[in-house]
Structure formats: C-alpha cells, structure tokens
Amino acid sequence: MPNQFKSALRFRLIKIFFLVTFLPMLMMSVINYGFTYKDCKNMLQKELMHLAKGATTMIDPIQLKQLEIDKSKHSHAYQTTNHLLSTYKKQVDATYIYILKKDMNTTYFLVDGGEIGEEDQSYIGEKYDLNQYMEKAFNGKADITDAPYTDRWGTFLTGYAPILDTNGSIYAVVGVDMDVSKLKTLQENLFLQIALICITCFIISLFLANALTENDVEQVSKIQEALLKAGEGDFSVCKIDKKDWVGTRIVINSFNKTVGKIKILMDKSREANRLKSDFMSTMSHELRNPLNSIIGYTHLVLNQAQDTLSPKHKKHLQTVERNGQHLLGLIEQMLDLSAIEAGKKDLTLKKFNCVRLINEVIELALPLAHQKK
C-alpha cells in the first residue's frame, strides 16, 4: 500500500478525532472559564465599589482642605485622615487606600493610607497618572477597573469614588486597591487547563488514528489483492477477520457480492462464446461442402463446354465461379476468426491489391443493383 494513501488517511482521521474530542471539551472549558473567572471578578468588583463608597463616608473634607494648606505629613489633619484610612484598610482587608486631588490636568496624592514612614508611601503632591476610571470618579460617578492590571507592586483591581465637600461639590477621589493575584492565578490555571485539553485531545486523536489507519490499510490491501486476482480471472472472495472493523466488514461483504456477480456474468459470457464458436464451426463446414460442389461443377462446365458456350454464358459461369471462391474465402475467414478467439491462430498482416478488391466488390454488388432498377 503506498505511503501517500497511508499518510493521507492518518491525517484525515486525526482531524476527525481531534474535532470530535476537542470541541466538546473546549466548549466545557470556555463555559467553565466564563462562569468561574467572570463570577469571581464581578464579585470582587462589587465588593470594591462598596469599599470605595464606604471610605468616602468617614473622610472629612474640611480636614482635607487643611492638610492641603499644611502640606505636611506631620500635620494634625494629615495624621487624622491617614489614621482613618489605615484603620479602614485593615478592617476591609484592602491592599492600598489613598486620596487623590485633581488640579486642571494634573492628578496628585493628598493622603496615602499606608503607615507613615513606610518606604513606598506616596508624599503629598506626588503626581499620579489619570485614567478613565478615575476621570469618571472626578466627574461624580464611582467606577471600577474592568480587568486586573499588574504593576511593580502586584496585580490589582481598583475602585474609585468621589469625595464631596460641604457644598456638595466634588473635592477629591478616594482609591481602593485590592490584591487579585489569586484571580490572575485562577485565570492562568484555566488557560493552562485549556492547553492541556488541546494536547490531550491531540494525543488521543493520534493514537486512535494510528490504530484505525493500520487496520484500514491492511483491509484495503486485502481488497486490492483480490481485485488484482479478479483481473487475472481468479474470483475468490476476500476473507473477513474477527478483528476487522464493522465498516470494513460491510465494504468487504459488498465487494464479495460484486465479485460473485461478475463471476456469474463471466461464466455466462464464456459459455455464450463457446456456443458461438461451435455454431460458426458447424455452419462453416455445412456451407463449405455444398459450396465446393458448386465451384467444382462450374469449373467442370467451363472446361468441358468451353467451345459450345456463348460469351455471355461463359461470363456468367465465370462470375459464379469467382463469387463462389469469394464466399469460400469468407467462410475460411470465419473459421480463422474462431481460431483466433480461441487463441489457436495468430494474425498475419500483409499487403493486398486495393484495385482488385474494389472490382470484386463492384462485381458482387452489380446483380443486386440490376434487380433494384
């Protein structure tokens, strides 16, 4: 069996099995990812929204205005606000909490809720990059980051809520960061699960394709061998093994039925050919004997009564003799044809006189033409 057929069959089976096994498992994994990851993220976002809004209720805008005037971490206003934010951060288990102020297009820190003196604590007036979620909070609408983001301090979701002054105007924004590294780990694990599913499905598909390919190639080879035998006249059927697949058995059964019908038709054809040969042989002999008599008597009359015959009668007798010879030649050719079909005689090619052949055809057809006038 050619290697191209084997490779093509294996590749097609791998694709079929891979799709059959991979697609359902992939759908299940995607659904699991959608429900698990999104549910966890939505739950954290709702919690963050609640924490950000809760932080605004305990912040005194008068203290914020005072600490902005003092611009010192050691001022009473800063320490009071920092203590409130630090206590709240511990209560709600937030990672970072801070207050931001916007002046024209510049956003900067007012209060960092970390412990005073910490190495990474932001100072008053330190610039902060403005993002779309923070912008919404400065416009009066609390908002949360859509997806986790990662920086040098970790992976976070952040909620922003506006802080109103005594006149009800937006004075600042409070930001609450929550460490969601576990959520990111969950996301990575789900992606890893999908990748493992792909690899597992491919290995299973490869194994099944190899097993089926070897079996199918063996069965196709068996059928091919039977076809070659049929071409040589051996119409023996293919044997079915117990290890053959159901589909292979169906193909072999259909092949055996077809071969059986062909064998019956070939037997009938051989019998008909034999009967034809017998008929032609018998009829040729039956025709040749009286024809030899006609030719012999015609020749005898021409020789013995040559002087008493008129030229017209002599010509007619010569035509009868010549046509008899022609008919005898046709009978001999029929016998030769039967011998050739039986494989008992070889064809011999040789040149002939074309003009003579045309004259003989005209002479044979002339009496018939005269009758139809």
Q: With 50 as the cut, is the pLDDT of residue 2 above it?
A: no
Residue 119 CA: distances (Å) to CA of 109, 176, 177: 16, 19, 18
Domain tally, the chain = 2
User: Can you give the pLDDT at residue 214?
Assistant: 57
Mean pLDDT of 140-144: 91
Claim: this prediction has a pTM higher than 0.85: no
* pLDDT given for residue 242 in this prediction: 47
Out of 7-16, 107-116, 180-189, 198-207, pick the least confident: 7-16
Summarize pLDDT for 150-161 with one digit per residue, the tens: 887 788 889 999
**Given 189, 220, 253, which residue is the final one in a domain?**
189
Residue 146 placed within a domain = yes
Q: What are phi and psi of 99, to 5 degrees?
A: -120, 130
Q: How far apart are CA 218 and CA 286, in angstroms?
A: 57
Whether residue 173 contacts residue 102, with contact meaning beta carbons closer than 8 Å, is answered with: yes
Domain-terminating residue out of 124, 154, 189:
189
Angle among Cα 308, 309, 314 to the nearest 5 degrees reads 150
Residue holding tokens 């305990």? 58
Strands 96-103 and 106-112: antiparallel
In residues, how long is the chain? 373
Choose between 248 and 246: higher pLDDT. 248
Kindly tell me if the per-residue pLDDT of 119 is higher than 70: no
- Statement to judge: residues 287 and 174 lie in one domain: no
Does 50 share its domain with 169? yes
Which pLDDT score, from 0 to 100, does residue 141 have? 92
Closest CA to 59 of 85, 95, 90: 85
HSE-up (13 A, CA, CB side) for residue 22: 18
Q: The tokens of 12 are what? A: 């097609």
Which tokens sit at 76?
Answer: 């009473």
Q: How far apart are CA 308 and CA 300, in angstroms?
A: 13
Q: Name the percent of the chain lying above pLDDT 70.
A: 69
Pairing of strands 96-103, 170-179: antiparallel
Rounded-to-10 torsion of CA 298, 301, 306, 312: -50
Percent of the chain whose pLDDT exceeds 90: 6
Given this model, what pLDDT does residue 235 score?
63
For residue 19, give the CATH number of its domain. 3.30.450.20
Question: Does the pLDDT of residue 85 top 80, yes or no?
Answer: yes
Tokens matching residue 323: 């046509």
pLDDT band at 149; cut points 50, 70, 90: confident
In a domain, 338, yes or no: yes
Inter-CA distances, 218 with 40, 115, 158, 212, Å: 54, 78, 64, 10
How much is the mean pLDDT over the chain?
A: 76
Within-domain flag for 115: yes
DSSP 306: T
**Range of weakest confidence among 142-151, 200-209, 283-292:** 200-209
Query: Residue 11: pLDDT band by 50, 70, 90 thresholds?
Result: low
Domain boundary (149, 170, 189) is at 189
Among the ranges 71-80, 168-177, 322-331, 353-362, which has the highest mean pLDDT value?
A: 168-177
Structural domain boundaries enclosing 281: 273-371
The domain that contains 353 carries what CATH number? 1.10.287
Degrees (nearest 5) of the Cα angle 204, 205, 206? 90
The residue whose two tokens read 């089926």 is 212
Angstrom distance (rounded) from CA 73 to CA 79: 7
Helices (H) and strands (E) in the chain, counts: 8, 6
pLDDT for the residue numbered 45: 84
Shared domain check, 307 and 164? no
